[in-house]
Amino acid sequence: MLRVPDNQPVVDQTGLTESYDFRLAYSLELRATTSDSPPPLPDLFSAIQQQLGLQLVHKKIPFNVLAIDQVDRFPTEN
């Protein structure tokens, strides 16, 4: 499951049906580079596009949400 840094839901609209095993190298931190430091890792969105060839697109789409407002520890009689 993919979670983006701002905790927005991610909906798969790729049409891909297989399972894939991969490693994604990215950083959640922005840091300045110096001449003797290795290049920084890309942010999550850039890493997904550069390393997997996929693109995260921000758009509003309808989706189902289940909200539970109360839970009883022991069942009660109907």
Please report the pLDDT score of residue 48 as a whole number: 92
Ramachandran quadrant class, 20 (left: phi over 0; alpha: psi -120 to 50; beta: rest): beta
- Domain ranges in the chain are 1-78
Cβ atoms 26, 41 nearer than 8 A: yes
pLDDT in tens, the chain (78 residues): 676 767 777 888 889 999 989 999 988 776 665 666 666 889 888 999 999 999 988 888 887 889 999 887 877 776
Of the candidates 40, 37, 39, 56, which has an alpha carbon nearest to the alpha carbon of residue 48?
56
